[in-house]
Structure 1
């Protein structure tokens, strides 16, 4: 059973992109163009930074959390990013 992560990436212009992955650092490299397979929505929007991650038990839980996060207003997402402490993982 692998651990899944909900993550948010921020572009140079401040746009937030939300996704799920088993390896958010690898996914960031894909989105940045270092590896094949990044999202089309992020092409040419770099530099990108990983601003939020949350570990979840399985893909289903991660997908549900992703959907819920995407429904939130930008202001709430930015507050979540601002309060994020990576050492709590």
Structure 2
């Protein structure tokens, strides 16, 4: 993982929905999501898997990335993930 203090991340839930979030401890946060102690949205949608993350030097930039992602319609979220990861398995079959 990157040497940063603030992360924007995207999870893929078991129902193929996407969840974008912010954290300052990525490993702990993903563990919390999978234990059902994360965001209300991910409870009951586990297990989740980390699809994408990016580290930022400050909290406001990471939160801005999260807000932008959450404002996108699903198709644009998938296009974003495909462009950022280059992994067609992440998004292509769902477009």
Q: Which of 4, 8, 16 lines up with 2:18 in the alignment?
A: 16
Q: Does 1:53 align with 2:53?
A: yes
Q: Give me the whole-angstrom Cα distance separating, in 1, the residues matched to 2:50 and 2:39.
A: 14
Q: Give me the whole-angstrom Cα distance separating, in 2, the residues matched to 1:11 and 1:29.
A: 13
Q: What do residues 7-53 of structure 1 show as CA deviations (whole Å, max 9, x unaligned)? A: 0111111111111111222111001117xx41121112112101010
SS of equivalent to 1:47? coil
Q: Give me the whole-angstrom Cα distance separating, in 2, the residues matched to 1:63 and 1:6.
A: 7
Q: Which of 30, 33, 53 lines up with 1:31 in the alignment?
A: 33
Higher relative contact order (CA 8 A, sep 6+): 1
Q: Give me the whole-angstrom Cα distance separating, in 1, the residues matched to 2:46 and 2:24.
A: 22
Question: CA RMSD of the aligned region, Å?
Answer: 1.7
- Structure 2 length-normalised TM: 0.76
Cross-structure match for 1:62 = 62
- Structure 1 length-normalised TM: 0.80
Cross-structure match for 2:77 = 77
Aligned residues: 82
Cross-structure match for 1:40 = 40
